[in-house]
């Protein structure tokens, strides 16, 4: 399996909104709505931000939202804050008890 | 609280094997899959495989098949990951992560274990 395709970097100013895309093939996404998103600050463990395409785990602000259309999933972040600066990874269940991550996107808050 | 605690950093020579551990606490060990994910320097996250602690069944990413073995000890709520025939490309931080929401996402992560492969 190849990694899902994400932009290498995105940026935005505080208070603005950004969107990170995650593109795969029908085999990557497996026809399932099991896309999750992770925030990863260097030196720390990744943090689950979105699961099942658009659901929030407890404690994650609703400034983060997820969606999926066809073979592209997206993570939108509104009201950017300095602490949102991190690497973001999408991940999808790919069937047969396998998972695949995206290549990661570095979010810079200007 | 729910947590996964991984074993300490390792330095190995090329061709050697490494075994990492991940001890779960704060929840029913057999109720959630446990996954291994790694991140090489400057690279992204890479899913390696998973183990179902209930019966011990495993699935490995194609890239690692034949070189990785995941096992568990239910008496200590610990999962092990052994990676053999190490090369410098296996230098990475290795994370264990718990399955969540029908086991389709990863909600709790270990602190990460640095494995360095160097002659």
Q: In this predicted model, what pLDDT tens digit does every residue of A78-92 receive, in sequence order?
A: 999 999 999 999 999
Residue A30 pLDDT: 63
Give me A46's structure tokens. 């990744």
Under the banding of pLDDT at 50, 70 and 90, the label for residue A61 is very high
Contact B59 A98 (CB under 8 A): yes
A42 vs A105, more confident: A105
Q: Would the CB atoms of B59 and A3 count as touching at under 8 Å? A: no
CB < 8 Å to A1, chain B: 61-62
Q: What is the pLDDT of residues B44-86, one digit of tens each?
A: 999 999 999 999 999 999 999 999 999 999 999 999 999 999 9
**Is the pLDDT at B94 greater than 70, yes or no?**
yes
CA distance B31 to chain A (A): 16
The pLDDT score that the predictor gives to residue B113 is: 98
Does pLDDT of A1 surpass 70?
no
Query: Looking at residues B93-114, what average pLDDT do you find?
Result: 94
* CB-CB under 8 Å, B46 with A101: yes
For residue B19, which of B61, B78, B60 has the smallest C-alpha distance?
B78
pLDDT for res B58 = 97
Q: What is the DSSP letter of A16?
A: -
State the DSSP string of chain B.
--EEEEPPPEEE-TT--EEEEEEEESS-GGGS-EEEEEE-TT--EEEEEEE-TTT--EEE-GGGTTTEEEEEETTTTEEEEEE-S--GGG-EEEEEEEEETTTTEEEEE---EEEEE--
pLDDT by residue (tens digit) across B19-47?
Answer: 999 999 999 999 999 999 999 999 999 99
Chain B residue closest in CA terms to A40: B45
Interchain CB distance below 8 Å, A101 and B95? no
Longest dimension (CA), chain B: 42
Residue A68 has pLDDT above 90, yes or no: yes
pLDDT at B108 exceeding the cut of 80: yes
> What does the pLDDT look like over A17-56, one tens digit per residue?
999 999 998 777 767 889 999 999 999 999 999 999 999 9
B43, B44, B56, B93, best to mutate vs chain A, most A CBs in 10 Å: B44
Residue of A45, A49, A59, A60 to mutate, interface with B, max B Cβ within 10 Å? A45
- Partners of A66 in beta bridges: A75
At residue A25, the pLDDT reads 85
Kindly report the average pLDDT of chain A as a whole number.
94
Q: Which residues of A touch B47 (CB under 8 A)?
A: 91, 98-101
């Amino acid at each position: 399996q190849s990694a899902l395709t994400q932009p290498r970097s995105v940026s935005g100013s505080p208070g603005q909104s950004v969107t990170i895309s995650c593109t795969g093939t029908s085999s990557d996404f497996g026809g399932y709505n099991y896309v999750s998103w992770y925030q990863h600050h260097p030196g720390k463990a990744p943090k689950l931000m979105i699961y099942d395409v658009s659901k929030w785990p407890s404690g994650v602000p609703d400034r983060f939202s997820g969606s999926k259309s066809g073979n592209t999933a997206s993570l939108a972040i509104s009201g950017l804050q300095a602490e949102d600066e991190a690497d973001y990874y999408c991940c999808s269940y790919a069937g047969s008890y396998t998972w695949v991550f995206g290549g990661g996107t570095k979010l810079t808050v200007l | 609280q729910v947590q996964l605690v991984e074993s300490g950093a390792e330095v190995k020579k090329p061709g050697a094997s490494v075994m990492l551990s991940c001890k779960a606490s704060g929840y029913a060990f057999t109720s959630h899959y446990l996954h291994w994910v790694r991140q090489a320097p400057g690279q992204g996250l890479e899913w390696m495989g998973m183990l179902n602690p209930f019966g011990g069944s495993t699935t490995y990413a194609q890239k690692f098949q034949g070189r990785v073995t995941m096992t568990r000890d239910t008496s200590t709520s610990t999962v092990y990951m052994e990676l053999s025939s190490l090369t410098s490309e296996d230098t990475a931080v290795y994370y264990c992560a718990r399955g969540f929401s029908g086991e389709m996402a990863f909600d709790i992560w270990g602190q990460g274990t640095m494995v360095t492969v160097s002659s």
